Amino acid sequence: MKLASHGCIALLLALLSAPLCRCAAVPAAAPVPARPLRLPFTYEAGRNGMFNGGVRAILQDRDGNYWFGSHFEGVCRFDGERFECFTTADGLSDNQVRSIQEDARGTIWFDNGVGISSYSGGVMAANTARRFDATDAWKLAPGDLWFKSDGVVGFNQFELAPGVYRFDSEGLNYLTFPLPLERAADAGYSLTGICRGKGGRVWLATYEAVFGFDGQAITVIDGDRMGLRKDGKAPHVRCVFEDSAGRLWIGNNGVGVILVDGARTALLADLCADAANADQSLLRVFSIGEDREGCIWIGTVGGGAWRYDGRTLRQFGERDGLTTTYVMSIYRDHAGDLWVGGEGVFRFNGTSFERMH
């Protein structure tokens, strides 16, 4: 038998080491965009089928964290990577969060369905210290915070009459609304919304009226001033907002949006023909805000969000990326971007909405 030559051996080794086929190079797959993290809220109805509005409050704190307060399921903080959530088991006074504020020291405050809570130094706690010895000592300062009475509605045995809590460096002090005696026991003056306006002026919405305080005097905008009584209607105020031009927008559950501009008062339907022809959801308004272009945004129950540019009205819904039909909160972050909350949290990109959480 003949032995293979060195040349044959080299050829055989080359063939064995060669690839089985010469395939075209396959380009690397494009990275799949990460799906935004979803809030761990279930959005399920509450006890006895009670309506769940989802995300009722949004705040971006001074460190850039976003806080999202829910209707029944506590509050969550998002630091850009993960959520940290808090309920009554973690020190929150109640699992309903109606508003979120930050004080000058960076403490985050929560106006709960029952009580008031705060977060500082990694600790969530219910705040129980109150003062009731100066209920008519109304004051206004740049860093003060405002909260509703302690109960879900009405007032308790310590508060004695409809009013609000004001927080300053001395703590929480209860202030009563200037109401005639016959209305001093009316739960209709329970707080439903808070807004800071020009010069630090504070607007306090209640079901029956809106109270404005500029540091000197209290202005009362009731059903008569809103122009409702003459038509046999009644206010049911759910939110109030002062825009960059100083105009006051009042959102009602039942009669829609009312504009108070100096001595002039008008329904949105009187300002814009589109509003008169809109669906009935525009009558159920629970949140109002303003974008960087000066357009007014209106959050409804049942009809998503509406934008009013001063001339025309446009509805935003599922076709625009806004998959929640109820919008309980409208918020502008530090960059001026518009966020809305309901069943999820969405950010407006200038033409449509993107679900963020």
Q: Assign 16 a pLDDT band (cuts: 50, 70, 90).
A: very low
Distance CA 24, CA 134 (A): 83
pLDDT at 7: 46
Q: Assign 238 a pLDDT band (cuts: 50, 70, 90).
A: very high
Tens digit of pLDDT for each residue in 149-193? Answer: 999 989 999 999 999 999 998 899 999 999 988 887 888 999 999
Q: Assign 271 a pLDDT band (cuts: 50, 70, 90).
A: confident
Q: Assign 85 a pLDDT band (cuts: 50, 70, 90).
A: very high
Q: Assign 2 a pLDDT band (cuts: 50, 70, 90).
A: very low
Distance CA 213, CA 144 (A): 13
- Which residue from 299, 280, 279 is spatially nearest to 289, judged by alpha carbons? 299
Between 36 and 333, the higher pLDDT residue: 333
Q: Assign 33 a pLDDT band (cuts: 50, 70, 90).
A: low
Q: Are 307 and 348 in contact (CB under 8 A)?
A: no
Q: Is the pLDDT of residue 276 over 50?
A: yes
pLDDT at 187: 84
Q: Is the pLDDT of residue 293 over 80?
A: yes
Q: Is the pLDDT of residue 1 over 60?
A: no
Domains in the chain, CATH or no CATH each: 42-127 (2.40.10), 223-357 (2.130.10.10)
Q: Which of 26-35, 227-236, 297-306, 313-322 has the lowest mean pLDDT?
A: 26-35
The strand pair at 313-316 and 285-290 is best described as: unpaired
Query: Quick one: CA dihedral 242, 105, 54, 112, positive or negative?
Result: negative
Region 22-31 average pLDDT = 46
Region 299-305 average pLDDT = 94
pLDDT at 6: 44
Distance CA 113, CA 74 (A): 10
Region 235-263 average pLDDT = 95
Q: Is the pLDDT of residue 264 over 80?
A: yes
Q: Is the pLDDT of residue 308 over 60?
A: yes
340: exposed, middle or buried (C-beta count within 10 Å: 0-12, 13-18, 19+)?
buried
pLDDT at 124: 98
Distance CA 137, CA 235 (A): 28
